């Protein structure tokens, strides 16, 4: 489990294709690995991956073909947002994030507005029902608040601190981004399905 509060910007240092799967070595960008063990989870651009090897300044992960198919951003040399798994004693500064990407969106617009930036993203149609004004969504691992929704397109406001601390500053129209919707919305939907079934019985 994660919070969507990015702890460092890393880089995919090595990328080795293993059939349809891949092994990646990711430099930590100053992330402290002293409390990380082999087998622990680290979110990479919003994707929960397991550390299979550790060094002082980098970690190694294996990525399945299914994960590669459903996500974006895993290419040699790419900068990536990193977050270590949430501990029970940590502050929940963002929102509860599972690290399981629900779909890939496309940036419609990324433009400065005053000191901040407006980010508009077109989500896959099946995710539109989970995006609500003032709700939470994760974009490339970053916990953000939705400011407006129109169909499958939603808008976000990125403050200077968010841009400085994440890779979102690199976005442009046409960029593809990993999206994870608020898990609470999914639970509510599932509960409603069972409630409706019970009512009909």
* CATH number, residue 183: 2.40.30.20
Residue 117 resides in a domain: yes
95 in a domain, yes or no? no
Question: Is 72 a member of any domain?
Answer: yes
184 in the same domain as 110: yes
Query: Which pLDDT score, from 0 to 100, does residue 173 have?
Result: 98
> Is 149 inside a domain boundary?
yes
Whether residue 189 has pLDDT greater than 90? no
Kindly state whether residues 172 and 112 are assigned to the same domain.
yes
75 lies in the same domain as 114: no
The total domain count for the chain is 2
Report yes or no on 194 lying in a domain: no
**Distance in angstroms (rounded) separating the CA atoms of residues 98 and 118:** 25
Nearest to 182 by CA among 53, 60, 4: 4
Q: Is residue 158 part of a domain?
A: yes
Q: Distance between CA atoms of 92 and 2, rounded to whole angstroms?
A: 9
72 and 117 inside one domain: no
- For the segment 119-171, what is each residue's pLDDT rounded down to a tens digit? 999 999 999 999 999 999 999 999 999 999 999 999 999 999 999 999 999 99
For the cut 70, the answer to whether the pLDDT of residue 200 exceeds it is: no
Task: Please report, for residues 19, 61, 85, 106, 139, the alpha-carbon distance to residue 154 in angstroms, rounded to integers and kept in the order given.
Answer: 36, 32, 27, 11, 12
- Separation between Cα atoms, residue 200 and residue 180, nearest integer Å: 32
Question: Among 24, 30, 34, 28, which Cα is nearest to 10's?
Answer: 28
What is the CA angle 122-173-117, rounded to 5? 90
Alpha-helical regions (H) of 56-105: 65-70
Do 154 and 124 belong together in one domain?
A: yes
| Summary mean pLDDT of the chain | 93
For residue 68, the enclosing domain spans 8-84
Mean pLDDT across the stretch 49-67? 97
The number of helix segments (H) and strand segments (E) in the chain equals: 3, 12
33-45: pLDDT as tens digits: 999 999 999 999 9
Residues 68 and 139 in one domain: no
């Amino acid at each position: 489990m994660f919070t969507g509060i990015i702890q460092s910007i890393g880089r995919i240092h090595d990328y080795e294709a293993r059939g349809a799967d891949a092994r990646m070595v990711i430099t930590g960008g100053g992330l402290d690995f002293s409390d990380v063990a082999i087998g622990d989870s680290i979110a990479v651009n919003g994707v929960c991956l397991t550390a299979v090897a550790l060094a002082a300044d980098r970690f190694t992960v294996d990525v399945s073909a299914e994960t590669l198919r459903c996500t974006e951003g895993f290419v040699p040399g790419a900068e990536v947002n990193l977050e270590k798994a949430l501990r029970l004693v940590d502050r929940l500064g963002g929102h509860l994030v599972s690290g399981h990407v629900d779909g890939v969106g496309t940036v419609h617009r990324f433009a400065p507005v005053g000191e901040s930036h407006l980010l508009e993203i077109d989500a896959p149609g099946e995710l539109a029902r989970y995006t609500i004004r003032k709700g939470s969504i994760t974009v490339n691992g970053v916990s953000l608040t939705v400011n407006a929704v129109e169909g499958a397109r939603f808008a976000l406001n990125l403050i200077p601190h968010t841009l400085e601390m994440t890779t979102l500053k690199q976005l442009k129209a046409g960029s593809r981004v990993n999206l994870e919707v608020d898990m609470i919305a999914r639970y509510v939907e599932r509960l409603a399905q069972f409630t409706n079934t019970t009512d009909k019985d």
